[in-house]
Structure 1
Amino acid sequence: MNIKMILMSSAAALAAISSAQAADAIVAAEPEPVEYVRVCDAYGSGYFYIPGTETCLKISGYIRFQVNAGPAASATKGNGANVANDSDWDAYTRGQVQFTAKSDTEYGPLTGVIVLQTNADNASSQSAVLDSAYIDIAGFRAGLFYSWWDDGLSGETDDVGSKVTLHNSIRYQYEADNFYAGISVDELEDGYYSTGENPNNVGIAIGVGGKAGIFTYQITAGYDTDNEEGAVRAMGTVAIGPGTLGLAGVYSSGPNSYYQTAEWVIAAEYAIKATDKLKITPGVQYYGNYGITAGDFDDNNDAWKVGLTVDYQIVDNLYAKATVNYLDPDKGDDVTTGFFRLQRAF
């Protein structure tokens, strides 16, 4: 076989191999276009557009570890965490996540909020609750949310709010730059009942508040239709020196779902901004006709309370809080309570 024949045979073989490979080649499909999450800055930081929509979503929340001290310490944990425990100290952990959705409409922003919360007294004793869920548009709000009676002074000594402040409600609130005023209709099924029964209780509440220079103010009132009693509260703060002075007063015509701790109370605190990260808040409160006897306030029992709260920001989004409070009623034993808390917000 001469050189010419060898070259021609080699070329034919290579052509055949190339044709076979071309016939077996796999052509990859082009990737689908990906829509990346876009930042939505129309409603503040933290919002992003839900892909494929014009709705903006924000996810936030916190993780809390807290140790309570005092008689029946577990009874002070709050929503969903109470368990039978006679110990004078108890630890618990809470996880909370909030979803806030907003979108523009011809009536203004349409807002939807869902807050989910889980409390753990220990690994085998846990509870998950719907902490809030409501719709808000053009000043109208409907759903499960906290009332104005949930507000208070900044420390942990004052006791000027309702025992139960989370209700299914319908509310309208007008808001301006430094002023708001509103009215709400509240379902008070899990509130206080002087008869001991649980009727389909309804309440009417109003709230007015705002800011004027260095002053802030809030007036809240509520009328409990089943108990036929009402309560009114006034609170205010003013910046003085290195801190803020807070004052509050409550009057209740009789035990009702809006206020049933005492017939009247006055409270004061001074929140001292010691450093950029440290706040120290001493507080005091006096109760007139403290407690309930035979369905009415006990007019032979007054009480006073004094306490101290310390807040410290360890790093960004990590906070520590410690408080101790001493309560001395005319009747019964005096009580010292407190807690230490670590909380990581996001």
Structure 2
Amino acid sequence: MNIKSILLAAAAAMAVVSGAQAADAIVAAEPEPVEYVRVCDAYGTGYFYIPGTETCLKINGYIRLQVDVAPNASSISASGGGSVPNDSDWDARTRGQVQFTAKSDTEYGPLTGLVVIQTNADNATDQKAQLDSAYIDIAGFRAGLFYSWWDDGLTGETDDIGSPVTLHNSIRYQYETSEFYAGISVDELEDSPFYHGEAANNWGVGVAVAGRAGVFTYQVTAGYDTDNEEGAVRAMGTVPIGPGILSLAGIYSSNPNAYYNKAEWVVAGEYAVKATDKLKFTPAFQYYGHYGIVGDEFNDDNDAWKVGLTIDYQFVDNFAAKISLQYLDPDGAEDVTSGFLRLQRTF
């Protein structure tokens, strides 16, 4: 075979191979269309669809700086932020809280999941992160870690009408309409106060009825502590009068228990006046009958009263200040003056 024949054969082979490669050429696939975040308006403002799902998610929270002023203020702050107790009469602390709420439609109504993460910082090294709430809610049933009805109160800062611990692992059912709700819950009271020699793993039953009748709103809450075998009942109501809103509350507690342990009976009231669109004043008063605990029972020889003033000012949307000043005068003990300044940015 001469040189010419070899070159012609090589050219023919290259042409065959080239044709095969051209036939088998890989064509790049078109990129998948990007699924941008879509607004979900089925459950109110702030929700968006989690990409690729039909679940709606909302993220919100707040940043708060608070300066407490009181005798042994750092010891008081320790209960909420984890500071080292000392005899300082003031203490500053910062809180950051983020809430995630997920909702989706089901044949039983919206399925809700909520998680709240909170961190309290008394200073740069003394910080405490905690799960503030986490629950599942569907068709009126709720299960998980959440605040009881006893966490509700009046709008100011004077009233002392809640449980010593209001965040529990609980299971509850609540029937509600736009103007009314009624519910029952079973609460684990493991970190609540114990009396009569009882120990941890206590549990209780709570009930609540609340609603609106015209301009009047009301709530009646009761709880029974099964280990201490004591209970408490509380009633609250609000009604607009003149330029403000009058709120009243009353409590009866059979003896110290996980639902109420400040006094055997209590009356409280406040009058919230919105002076301008940004400024609100709330003077308030509370009286404690048989205040304090002796042994495992309320002190029948001791009463107390408390007055206070709370001022709220809204600088701009989502940024507000609160100033509170309180005076407590118990029988048989020194009076206490306390207060705080709070700055809070919500989102």
Task: State TM-score, norm by structure 2.
Answer: 0.90
1:50-65 equivalent positions in 2, closer than 5 A:
50-65=50-65
Alignment-derived partner of residue 151 in structure 2: 150
Write out aligned runs for 1:1-346 (5 A): 30-77=30-77, 80-83=80-83, 84-195=85-196, 197-346=198-347
Work out whether residues 74 and 82 of structure 1, in 8 Å CA contact, stay in contact via their aligned partners in 2: no
Amino acid at match of 1:217: Y
- Distance in 1 (alpha carbons) for counterparts of 2:328 and 2:339: 11
Letter in 2 for 1:112: G
1:30 is displaced (CA, Å) by 4.2
Query: Shift of the alpha carbon at 1:79?
Result: 6.6
Quote the offset at 1:36 in angstroms: 0.1
Q: Which moves more between the two structures, 67-76 or 159-168?
A: 67-76
Percent identical across equivalent pairs?
75
Residue 14 of structure 2: aligned partner: none
Is the CA contact (8 Å cut-off) linking 1:238 and 1:244 kept in structure 2?
yes
Instruction: Write the distance in 2 (CA, Å) between the matches of 1:82 and 1:196.
Output: 27
1:77 offset after TM fit, Å?
4.0
Secondary structure of the 2:334 match is coil
Q: CA deviation at 1:180?
A: 0.2
Opposite residue 55 of structure 1, the aligned amino acid is: T
- 1:31 is aligned with what amino acid? P
Amino acid at match of 1:73: A
Unpaired segments ≥5 residues, structure 1: 1-22
Q: Secondary structure at the match of 2:74?
A: helix
Q: RMSD value over aligned CA atoms?
A: 1.6
Distance 1:128 1:106 in 2: 37
Aligned amino acid, residue 208 of structure 1? V
Letter paired with 1:238:
V
Contact between 1:116 and 1:129, CA under 8 Å: does it hold in 2? yes
**Unaligned regions of 5+ residues in structure 2, if any?**
1-21
Residue 11 of structure 2 is matched in structure 1 by none
How far the C-alpha of 1:214 sits from its partner, in A, is 1.0
SS at match of 1:281: strand
CA distance 1:74–1:225, shift in 2 (3 Å): same
Q: 1:231 to 1:334 in 2, by over 3 A?
A: same
Larger mean CA deviation between 236-245 and 29-38 belongs to 29-38
Does structure 1 retain, via aligned residues, the 8 Å contact 2:82–2:126? Answer: no
The answer to whether the 8 Å contact 1:232/1:251 transfers is: yes
Give the count of matched residue pairs.
322
Q: Which amino acid aligns with 1:37?
A: V
Structure 2: distance between partners of 1:296 and 1:55: 50
Alpha carbons 2:282, 2:311 under 8 Å: kept: yes
